[in-house]
Structure 1
């Protein structure tokens, strides 16, 4: 027996909703678009009309038509609406960033966890074969060493290295914590080279 498609309510009717969310979910067969919610009735109607969905400016009406809500709205709007969707028992598909502030994002995450609903963040190419292959290969990459600090401050003050410092050279600056690697660098071109000076003055 074939399962009924998951009913998707779409919050938002901007370019991303038109180009990606609506046509993807409407194509099925696992999903179908049941409603489009946006504050402007004409915008909701334009997008919903393409897929035979309900157009509404009432988010609660959208929640009554769907099993899950996909968001294509601003982060501040998404954070509030997604909490309402989660509390109503709807799965949520979120855009990034999920909120405008870290506290708001944490509150949303806590609400979703408390409601026990499914949630996922839109990562458009995360599951493509090429992306999966790259991530698998990346797990075997050795960690890279941090690049040495570079200082270009124009001062001739001589500064002693901090205790225990190694493989460093004094940097011509008055900043007491500014040090550079002693690894030699390629010489600048004759046209742009400054007068030669020794580290430390």
Structure 2
């Protein structure tokens, strides 16, 4: 969470809990939030647009926007496919979703009650969905994600229709997570092998 000494959890019980941690870190107390998911909660993201909010996404194809000050769901986005992961973007009003779709695995959505930006869907042709155990990352105007074929793909979110840059990382080995770290990409394969790839946004 953005607030100190707070964190949120969600899981197979369909419930999102907000936890308050004691100042001496000795314990934490949970409070269930009135967010109604009908399937497992798969991703949580703390954001701040006009106020502090918590975005929760589930296998039920619902993305709920919870306002912490008013303690209520202020908007719900309905997606066609289950959402695996949520990421921040440069706009505080938009989030990037990784979804269970074979060819359009990613969506950038405006989560305001009256959206000002259209939904952007993009991805690449694949014979299988990613599954929730592949996770990408955003940084500045970029989004990177691994794949089952050992390739990392890199998109410029200002033009998601353009072909992504492709980085061969681990031949025939699934890349389960990609993380931006300044001018580097850190990748992890399904066997736990870590690889750091030098990356320069200006020269890609």
Q: Which TM-score bucket, shorter chain as reference? A: under 0.3
Choose 1 or 2 for highest CA Rg. Answer: 1
TM-score, normalised to structure 2, is 0.25
Greater share of helix: 1
Greater percentage in strand: 2
Higher relative contact order (CA 8 A, sep 6+): 1
TM-score (norm 1): 0.25
